[in-house]
Each structure stands twice: as C-alpha cells, then as structure tokens.
Chains A and B, each alone.
Chain A
Amino acid sequence: MTAVTQRTADLVAAGLSKAFGGVQAAESVDITVPAGEVTGLIGPNGAGKSTVLKMLSGFLRPDRGSLRIGDVDILGRDAAHVARAGVVTTFQHATPIGELSVLDNVLVGMTRLHAGGVLSAVSGLGPARASERAQRQEAIELLERFELHAIAHTQAAQLSFGQLRMLELLRAVAARPKALLLDEPAAGLNAFETDRMAELIRWLSRERGLGVLLVDHDVRFVFGMCASITVMNFGRVIYAGGAADVAADPAVREAYLGSGTPADDDGGQA
C-alpha cells in the first residue's frame, strides 16, 4: 500500500434546524464528527436522523445553523460542493453503477481528482493518461485492502448484496474524504459481513484518520464501534456523550421504549 497522506478535519455542525411545512424535522442539532474517530447517530424511526444526515451532506439546505469541515464553511452548499470539501456520504441502498465493473466503480469515486479534460482523455495527450494510470493503481490497492480485488473486473450488477455494500463504502473512500457519513452501512449484512464492515470502518478511522459518522438504528453495531454517540428523538438531540453511559440514560430509555429497548432493536431495514 502506498502511503497516502490524507489530510483530515473535524466536521462540526451547530444549531442545525429544518422544518417541513409545520413539522420541525430537526431543531438546533449540534453534532461533531472528530477526525480519527467513529461517532454514532442513533434514534428511533422518524427521529430526524436522515434529515440531519441530508443537511450534513448537502442534499438538504438547513433553515438555520452552522456547518464546517475544518476551516471550510459548507453551510448551504450543494452536495457536490460538500463532497469536494471532503464530506462524502454513502447511501442506505447500495448504489454502485451496475453496468460498470467493480474497478470502474471505484474509479468513479476518484473522478473528481482526475487530471485532464475530455480532450486529453480522448487523445491520450496531456495529463489524463498518467492520471488514469495512477488512479487505476490506487484503485487496485484499495480493492486489495477491501479484499475485492478478485472481482475487480466483474460487473457490479452481478455482485452479492454484501459485496455491493463494501463497494459502496470503497467508492466513497476512493473520493479521498476527510469525513465519511455512512447511512446504515451494516443493514442487511450477515454476521460475517458485519464484522468485516466494522473492521474496515475502524481501519479507516484509525489508520487513515477519517472522521466517520455512523447513522443507524442497529444499536448494537453502533455501540460496538463508537466512542461517542448522539441520540435523537422528535427532531432533537436527547443525548450526546460516551457510548458507555448511553444505555443508562433515562431520556434514551424513554425514547426507545415505544420501539423496543435499544438492545432489542436489530435495525432491520425500515
């Protein structure tokens, strides 16, 4: 593995609010995703997790609040700007491009870092050629790290569900994010795949120094991964702090009583 010097940064959101019609989907949400750590965002269905995730990733413009990655203000910027600033999101439903190979899907993640325009790419002159070669090399190394290199030339449409989820994560990593926002990355995975996913996420945060936000209602998965956890209910943050104390918190217990205790919630796809 070539040494990739990855600059990382903290993602800091404060006071994020969003209303739809008369419904306050998120009210003054503060959340920090520190570099090199895995942070959890949990809450029952309809708690406002996905509203917050969409605001963090630029798919939804907050009504109020502030949002920064490192020193860069990304409040109100669109998703592509947010991604270029270093905040990359994965989707709940795996979205690799079925008609492209696994390798090409990883390269899609690197596209914004590609040097050279279409003329350079078509003619083979200029910087595109060298850039293409370097990106292929990097993509293959990433595929090896994710143990997907054996299927590098398989079409994504032929992959199993678990492989697609891995590829979804890998493609996001290929975009060289500073912070990764993962929407239910382990949903639908079997026990073996879940462990593998957890191991990769830990590697990304520890070895590559990425800040990772896990948005999930699979509480067990999140508890096992995260140093700190934010819990939402009815659009508000009801708990923010260490993972160790969360289960004992009365407000959290209250929030989960309606939909089963946290430990029972296995977070099947909603």
Chain B
Amino acid sequence: MRLDRLSGRSTRLAGPITVTIVLAGLWLGDSAFWIYNLTLVGAYAIVVIGLNILLGYAGLVSFAQTAFMAVGGYGVAILSVRHAVDPWLGLIAGMAVAAVAAALIGLALFRLRGHYLTMASFALAMGVFGYATAAVSFTGGSVGIAGVPPFVLGSFTFSDPRHAYVLVWVLVGLCAWAGVRARDSHVGRAWRTIADNENVAASLGLPVLRYKLIAFVIAAVMGALGGGLYVDFTSYANPELYAPAIIVNIFLMLFLGGRGHTLGPIVGAAIVVIVPLQIAGLSDIQAIIFNLALLVLILVLPGGLLDARSWRGLAAPLRRLRALGGADAQMAHTADAELEPAALAGRSRR
C-alpha cells in the first residue's frame, strides 16, 4: 500500500522538483560551495537511483554499487588521461564495461539467496576497493589519477561548475524518469512479483534470473554513470571514492531517503553529502554525531524520510504513552513478549 500511494505522489512531483533544483542552481550560481556540493549530490543520486531499482523495486540487497562507480570513474580517468580519449567516450566505455560485468557477475551471484547475496555483493565492493588501491600500474594506487579533463559539448565546457551542475541534474532527472517508467512497465511488475515471492513469479512462467539480471545491469550502468560523472567533475580518481565508508554511505542514502520512493535517492544523497558539511564546525565529534543521528533515524524512521507510514509509526508510541496508565503499560509489555515466537519464526524463514 505504501509503495503505490506514496511513490505515486513523489513520481508526479519528481519532474517539477528536478526542474526546480536545476533552476535553483542558476540562482545559487554565485555560491561555488553550493553548486559544487549539489553537483556531487547529483552524481551520488544517480548511483542511488540505480540501487533503488535493484532494492526498492526488485528486492535485491546489493552493496556492490561502489564497484560499478569505480568502473565508471576509472573508465573516464584512465581512458582520458592516459589514452587521450574524449571523456564522454570514456564514460560510455565505463558504462558498457559495467553492464557486461554486471551481467556476468550477476549470473554467478544470483545463484545465492538472501544473506549470501548481500555478503557477496559486499565482498565484491571491498575487493574492487582493494584492487583499486593495490593495482598501482593500472589505477595509480592510492595516489590515484589526477587531471581528468572536463566534458565538452559544443561550446559548453563542463569545467564551469554551473554547467556541470545543470548537466548532472538533467541526468538525475532522466535516470529518475527511466526508473519510474521501468517500475510501471511489465518489467517493473515482474520485479515486484519477484521481490514479493519468487515462487509465484516462477509459477507464472517469469524468467526470474533474467529479470534480476536486468535490474542488476541497470543499477550497474547508473552506478558507472554516477561514478564517471563524479570523477570528471572533481577531475580526480582515487580509491577513497570507493572505500568502505562510501559502500555504507551509498546504502544509507537510499535507506534514509526511503527505498521504493522516486525521490528517496535524491533526498538521501543530499542528506549524506550535505549534513556532514554543515556540522563540520564541530570538527572532532562530527563523525560521532553523524553516526548517532543515523542510528536514531534507522530506529525511528525505518522506512526512510519520505515514508509516511514511518512517520505515523513515530506518532503511535506517543499516543500509546498518553493513553496508557501504569497497569496497562504492564499488560502491553506482556503482549509484546507473546508476539515474539511469530516474529522469530518469520525471521528464520528469510
């Protein structure tokens, strides 16, 4: 119920909001700080839109988005810096490699279920980070590859932050639009069926593996696109862009924004990028405060910031507190305890 009603609303809002963000950029034009950071938000948002298709629609939990970001990022950097290839072509090559790699990796990964798939995707992301650090001759190791030339389109050079800003947000809009179109198509219906119950999907003759691969490849291509844009805008590729903290952050972006919601990736990316910048004045304890805030959000808004049911859930305990006296509270506690076996049985099946 949540998905249809709310994502319906945020889908209608997605177009206007994206346009607003792009136009706001022109107004923000003077603030280099905001233009730059909102550009990075956009690059991350593209990566997370891909994850949203994979997790929010098809129900596949993957930590591997940074692996594909790395493919896009190093694709642009290596081809343009070392081989003087146009960065656009580098970006496209990175996306193509990511697509092929995702199809092949997916064939192996999707034999695994549940937790194992999640773990394997995490291992993949960690392995790519390790490789980017280790393979000095190929990726430049921890020094990375600097001096990536900016995209050029006719008379537009995207070294101008405002041009880069508009480019990335137009692409965010396109990806969000493509995600919604896919969700509302027969492919999206198949994804949701698979997420809900793979046996049902199989009983209706759906090629489950093929639909999972489609989602994985789309997510990978968007990952490579976001990763490539990020590297080109910052003109610098290095392993820290794909470090464990980023693996977690990409996931947090979707989680905080609200999985399954069209605008979730954008909201989540904005929070994870901008909030730490805003509390940077707290220097030393900034990371601790951010960690704590994230944990509180996970506890109180498990569906993400855009999820209305989460907010209602937040109000419910307050109402219950007000309604209950001491003796009743005792009874409520007992009822809670009785719920446990069912809860556990449900968990063991997953």
Please list the residues of chain A having a beta carbon within 8 angstroms of any beta carbon in chain B: 57-59, 78-80, 83-84, 88-91, 95, 97-101, 104, 107-112, 114, 117-118, 121-124, 128, 131-132, 135, 155, 157-158, 171-172, 175
Contact = CB atoms under 8 A, between A and B. Distances in A.
Contact of B205 (A59, A122, A132, A175): A175
Given A97-B196, A155-B1, A118 B182 contact: yes
24 contacts: A59-B203, A79-B202, A80-B202, A83-B202, A84-B205, A91-B200, A95-B200, A97-B192, A97-B193, A99-B2, A99-B196, A101-B4, A107-B186, A108-B204, A112-B206, A118-B214, A118-B218, A121-B182, A121-B187, A155-B1, A155-B4, A157-B1, A172-B204, A175-B205
Interface centre among B185, B199, B202 (most CB of A within 10 A): B185
Contact of A83 (B4, B185, B196, B204): B204
Given A99-B4, A121-B182, A122-B182, A83 B189 contact: no
Interface in B1-44: 1-4
Given A121-B185, A128-B185, A155-B1, A91 B203 contact: yes
A172 B201 CA distance: 11
Nearest to B209: A80
Contacts of A172: 203-204
B205 A99 contact: no
Contacts, number: 101
Contacts of B201: 80
B182 A107 contact: no
Contacts of A98: 1, 196
Contact of B199 (A79, A97, A110): A79
Chain B interface residue number, banded: 20 to 34
B71 to A, nearest CB: 21
Nearest to A116: B186
B320 interface: no
Contacts of B278: none
A240 B63 CA distance: 54
A259 B290 CA distance: 63
Interface string B191-219: 01100110111111111100000100010
Interface string B115-155: 00000000000000000000000000000000000000000
Nearest to A104: B189
Contacts of B1: 98-99, 155, 157-158
Nearest to A86: B205
Contacts of A58: 202
